[in-house]
Structure 1
Amino acid sequence: MENIWLQAVKRIHAIAETGREFSHNEYDLERYQDISTLAQQLLASLANTPLTAIENLFRPDVDDGGYITPKIDVRGVVFKDKRVLLVKEKIDGLWSLPGGYADLGLSAAENTEKEVFEEAGIIVKASHLYAVRHKAKGEYTPDIRDFYKLFFLCEALPEQEIKAGMETDDVGYFSIDDLPPLSKGRVIATDIHHAWEFVCNPARPTLFD
């Protein structure tokens, strides 16, 4: 669960940016800009991150500004018996379910299938959306951005060999009872265990916060 101060500052920044988008009063616009700048400074302090890195998150070419909404992260879960497909992230050397930001022009399921192919080298079909998580409410590594995380069960086409992609160093199947060190900004063990519970009981409802 995120620190309450981080939650509050992210919310303040979102309110300020929304105010800048819809206000037409020059004095209000100046105040909203001041609030946004202060929120970015606080975010940098809370995250122990240089202010320039925080500012880059809100540039027009990074985020379209205006009404601030959560980003979308998609993850695909592929099982072989009771082993789950994981990829080793180049960025931190830890393991995760294949996935990443959802790209424009594709559905959530299509994005998930694309990510699994790019990171693990196999063609899959997304079959069930088993969980929708608000990252800030989970036991993930805290993030200055806000995310909805969509988890899909996927079925792999037969007779395919897994292979690492451009953003991954390794790929493999792991017992869900003996998982490698996970990249907890991306996935936590609970996400994988919930997926297996869904496999065992497909009638169970989709999990959501």
Structure 2
Amino acid sequence: MRQDPTTLEDTWLTRAKRLLALAETGQHFTKDPFDRERYDEIASMAQAMLADLGRVPVSRIEGLISDHAGGYATPSIDIRGAVIRGGSILLVRERLDGLWAMPGGFADIGSSPAEDIEREVWEEAGLRVRAQHLFALRHKARHPYPPDARDFNKLFFLCDEDGTDTPQWGAETSDAAFFSLDKLPELSLVRNIHADVTAAFQAHSMGQPQTHFD
């Protein structure tokens, strides 16, 4: 099921990110030294715009955005897993901000999204699971996450447990537990928002869950 395409991200942030992506692609493919100078200047201007919008130093923006494979600027991939047991959802407390999220992280090269999320749940919560259904594929900028200089596609999987072990946190987390929808802890909004958790419960309750995508 396709979601409303209206973007919730600030228009100028969207434009600055797109401008930087076009400049980086031009930097990679151009063979003309004068064009290279122009693309370099455009990239610097776009980075300065992002820094102004985020009220952070330009050096921080430069550090957030890595070189793009093949020369094309493409979105990063964030993967999250929903494990629901007895009407409660598994959340982990992130060491970086002390807030809670569905287990997950960046997609890794060399493995599939399903393999990625099964590994993430094991590493962050100590539970063996199997990815069963992709219930949402979101463009981060189109939803009320905090503004981000980077661009993300977010994949959300329903996962089934292999057993009912007690969650155990890992190196990147400081706690792991199951929570009911009406007693959620404070969420790490850069990773997941309340609507993501609600969508997980809705998908779990359906016999044939739909996949929501932007």
TM-score (norm 2): 0.93
Correspondence for 2:107:
102
Q: Is the 8 Å Cα contact of residues 98 and 116 (structure 1) preserved in structure 2?
A: yes
Highest RCO, 1 vs 2 (Cα 8 Å, sep ≥ 6): 2
- 1:17–1:65 contact (8 Å) kept in structure 2: no
* Distance across 2 between alignment mates of 1:64 and 1:198: 34
* Distance apart, 1:192 and its partner CA: 1.2
Taking only aligned residues, the RMSD between alpha carbons, in angstroms, comes to: 1.3
Q: Which of the numbers 11, 29, 34 marks the counterpart of 2:36?
A: 29
Counterpart in the other structure of 2:132: 127
Q: Which one of the candidate residues 84, 88, 102 is aligned to 1:83?
A: 88
Selected match of 1:50 from 57, 61, 67: 57
Shift of 1:20: 1.2
CA drift of 1:11 comes to: 0.3
Task: Answer yes or no: is 1:148 the counterpart of 2:153.
Answer: yes
Return the offset for 1:59.
4.6
Q: Deviations over 1:128-154 (max 9, x none)?
A: 000000000011111110000000000
Runs of 4+ displaced beyond 3 Å: none
1:10 matched to 2:17 = yes
The alignment-based identity, stated in percent, is: 47
The alignment's TM-score, normalised by the length of structure 1, stands at: 0.95
Deviation at 1:57, TM superposition (A): 2.6
Q: Letter of the aligned partner of 2:160 in structure 1? A: E
Q: Is the 8 A contact 1:130 1:195 kept in 2?
A: yes
Match of 1:175 in 2: 180
Q: Kindly provide the amino acid, as one letter, of the partner of residue 197 in structure 2.
A: I
Greater CA drift, 199-208 or 11-20: 199-208
Which ranges in structure 2 are unaligned for 5 or more consecutive residues? Answer: 1-7
Q: 1:58–1:65: 8 Å Cα contact kept in structure 2?
A: no
8 Å contact 2:169–2:175 — kept in the other structure?
Answer: yes
C-alpha distance in 2 between matches for 1:85 and 1:66: 38
